[in-house]
Structure formats: structure tokens, C-alpha cells
Amino acid sequence: MNEEDTLKPEYPPSLIKSGERGKYAARYREGTNIVRIDPDLHRIFPDSTAVNQALRQYAQERRIL
């Protein structure tokens, strides 16, 4: 593990004290299902609801779901 101090001098000390070490560690260990989409598709599918609806329709049309 790299122990080098990389904190920028402009960061206020209160920022360091306000954090909670390992806050998301358990969630991270469980894995993730995040998928990045290209910017041109983001205009068509702006949120997870739109993506899920399109994928469900695709799966139903192909009788996968």
C-alpha cells in the first residue's frame, strides 16, 4: 500500500476529519453491476429506468425473459 501523503494543501483539515473510513467497504466487496454507456446513448437512455425498460423489452421480444 502506498503511504505517500497526496493530500493537496488547499484541502481544509475539516475535510479529513469529516470522513468515515471504510464507509462503503462492505458494499464494494459485494461487487457492482455498473455499466457505462456511450454519450450518444445517454441521450436516449438518460437513467437506469430507461435502460431497464429497453432491456426488458429486448428480452421479451426475443423470449429470453
> What pLDDT score does 1 carry?
62
Cα–Cα distance measured from residue 1 to residue 3, given in angstroms and rounded to the nearest whole number: 6
Q: Evaluate whether residue 45 is within a structural domain.
A: yes
Q: Evaluate whether residue 19 is within a structural domain.
A: no
> What pLDDT score does 43 carry?
92
Which 3 state secondary structure label does DSSP give 16? helix
Cα–Cα distance measured from residue 3 to residue 45, given in angstroms and rounded to the nearest whole number: 41
- Please give the tally of structural domains in the chain: 1
> What pLDDT score does 60 carry?
94
Q: Evaluate whether residue 24 is within a structural domain.
A: no
> What pLDDT score does 33 carry?
82
Q: Evaluate whether residue 47 is within a structural domain.
A: yes
Which 3 state secondary structure label does DSSP give 63? coil
> What pLDDT score does 38 carry?
93
Q: Which domain holds residue 54?
A: 33-65
Q: Evaluate whether residue 56 is within a structural domain.
A: yes
> What pLDDT score does 65 carry?
66
The low-confidence residues of the chain, meaning pLDDT below 70, are 1, 65
Q: Evaluate whether residue 61 is within a structural domain.
A: yes
